Amino acid sequence: MASAFDLHWHWRAWRAQERWSQSKSDIEAWLCSQPKSHECLLLLGGSAGWMMSDRFLDRFTRVVLMDMDPLAGPLFRLRHRRALQGSRKTFVSLKADMHVQLPQLLEDEPHALVLFDNLLGLDTLQTRSIEATQRRLSALSSLLEGRDWGSIHDRFSGPGGALPPLSSSTFHRLSDEAFSPTELIRVVGGSGEWTDHSTHGIFPGGVPTRFVAWPIVPGYWHWLQAGWVGPSFQGSS
Ligand SMILES: C[S@@+](CC[C@H](N)C(=O)[O-])C[C@H]1O[C@@H](n2cnc3c(N)ncnc32)[C@H](O)[C@@H]1O
């Protein structure tokens, strides 16, 4: 998946828009479930916003995208120009590694909503070590103490049926406590070896989360887990 200049990811995402449409609408429902209480959005790993919702972006007057991919900013601006335009709107794109730059960004934008947009589940691809990833993810939790933040990230991935067999609406409301990996895998016709992305500890205990099925390529599925954390989100999911 995308890390730096990644044409293959953008090409694949562009071609997959129809196959991803159910996942995108499940993600939009989750994004728009949070209360409208922020003017600024810090979007980390947003790429070109292939799965981002204009309805959600419309809520903010300032959007700051941080991504390591130099194509992310220009493509995001192009794809979401309707939601980003307007005299009161600012869009800033930063090409940076958020593990290095996030502390400064949080200081610069103390009231912004922070969204990890489907990148935390890729961390082991960068560190090549479950322990190192767990250290980085727990450092993030401490950094975000007292802030409003959300994440959508890979929880499991593996081979499954070729066609979307479901509206994931039945499953996207499962709480973390209620979910069963075996059941999630079964509903997408899963078989064979599935990968656990070591993201089970990202949300503090008791945070309500949703699961979204994402057929990344035909016959291969990701189960994404999404949740909101922080003072503004008590009681929402
Ligand atoms: C799966 S893509 C995100 C897709 C995006 N949610 C969308 O709707 O198109 C993951 C993105 O995270 C970015 N990324 C991964 N690790 C990062 C890091 N440490 N700092 C900044 N960006 C990162 C990648 O460059 C990639 O664009």
CATH code: domain of residue 208: 3.40.50
pLDDT exceeds cutoff 70 at 129? yes
> For residue 50, what pLDDT is reported?
98
Tell me if 91 is assigned to some domain: yes
Domain region containing 192: 7-228
Question: Is residue 233 one of the residues assigned to a domain?
Answer: no
Atom of ligand 1 nearest to the CA of 45: 12
Could you tell me the sign of the dihedral formed by the alpha carbons of 131, 117, 18, 16, in that order?
negative
Mutate to test the pocket of ligand 1, among 1, 31, 47 (most ligand atoms within 8 A of CB): 47
Q: What is the mean pLDDT of residues 205-233?
A: 91
Taking residues 172-200, what's their average pLDDT?
78
Structure tokens at 82: 């309707």
With a cut of 80, say whether residue 134 has pLDDT above it: yes
In eight-state DSSP terms, residue 178 is T
Q: What is the pLDDT of residues 18-46, one digit of tens each?
A: 999 989 999 999 999 888 889 999 999 99
Residue 1 located in a structural domain: no
| Position 1 confidence tier, pLDDT thresholds 50, 70, 90 | very low
Count of structural domains within the chain: 1
CB hemisphere CA count around 67 (13 angstroms): 28
Any domain includes 173: yes
In this structure, which residue's CA is closest to atom 27 in ligand 1?
47
237 falls within a domain = no
Q: Give dist(CA 155, CA 199) in Å, integer.
A: 6
Ligand 1 centre to CA of 122 (Å) is 8
Whose Cα sits closest to atom 12 in ligand 1?
45
**Residue 208 in domain:** yes
Domain contains 236: no
What span, in angstroms and rounded, lies between the C-alpha atoms of 24 and 213? 10
Ligand 1 probe mutation, 63, 68, 79, 214, most atoms within 8 A of CB = 68
Is residue 136 domain-resident?
yes
Q: Is the CB of 121 under 6 A from ligand 1?
A: no
For residue 45 and ligand 1, the question of a CB distance below 6 A is answered with yes
Q: Given this model, what pLDDT does residue 113 score?
A: 97
Q: What is the pLDDT of residue 234?
A: 74
